Amino acid sequence: QSVLTQSPSASGTPGQRVTISCSGSSSNIGTYTVNWYQQLPGTAPKLLIYTNDQRPSGVPDRFSGSKSGTSASLAISGLQSEDEADYYCAAWDASLNVVVFGGGTKLTVL
Amino acid sequence: QVQLVQSGAEVKKPGASVKVSCKASGYTFISYDIIWVRQATGQGLEWMGWMNPNSDTTAYAQAFQDRVTMTRDTSKNTAYMELTSLTSEDTAVYYCARVVVRGYCNAGSCYTGWFDPWGQGTLVTVSS
């Protein structure tokens, strides 16, 4: 069972906006910033969002992140078929002294 | 371009050890920390630990403290992760990743370090 809680699945049709949530506690998301990783099928994770809402170069502005209290969200607008992937949130946990990940959300583009 | 290339798949028997390598290119190896993360089939990501290639300092997750060793060879720009006393529960894909920015706290705000790029992964299968 993951320390950060994500819904196992999400879906949307092309062009839609979808939101993926990540819930934690005061020892992780409540204190530390959140990063998001995208894992396309059969590949390694890739950095998607860092420090809650910052996009690395090359990541389309269709992807956006936010954080409030002990929860964080990843929003994907203008959904495309190539966005079909697993998405993981991550944060440092001050009680466990490790980076903790969410269980991942599998996004399906219908 | 910045790249991490890992060693190939391994099959080990229970009780054995495995050593996975992670060769860095496209940047100064000793300037960035390396982390190791594993992913069991169909499961999420699990942080195993961290290494500073310059100082050879390491920090391991409690779950692996007694069984994991992270090392490096700066002459080969390569990091290594060795896991001992393998069981079937260690069957997973093991990833290395470069730590772009280490986690820190400053002026009342705390930041989680972020990882980019990741190696392609190494499948370790533990089976009798």
- pLDDT tens figures, A44-84: 999 999 999 999 999 999 999 999 999 999 999 999 999 99
> Residue B13 and residue B86: Cα distance in Å, rounded?
7
Model pLDDT for residues B101-121, shown as the tens digit of each residue: 998 899 888 999 999 999 999
A7-37 burial code (b ≥16 CB/10 A, e <16): eeebebeeeeebebbbbbbebbbebbbbbbb
Q: Which residues of A touch B120 (CB under 8 A)?
A: 43-44
What value does the mean pLDDT take over residues B59-66? 94
Residues of A with CB below 8 A from B46's CB?
101
A47/B44 Cβ within 8 A: no
Mean pLDDT of B57-77: 96
Out of B95, B97, B110, closest to residue A32 by CB: B110
Query: What is the average pLDDT value for chain B, to the nearest integer?
Result: 96
For B110, name the nearest residue in chain A, comparing CA atoms only.
A32
Average pLDDT for B64-78? 97
On the question of pLDDT at B74 being above 90, the answer is yes
Average pLDDT score over residue span B18-28: 98
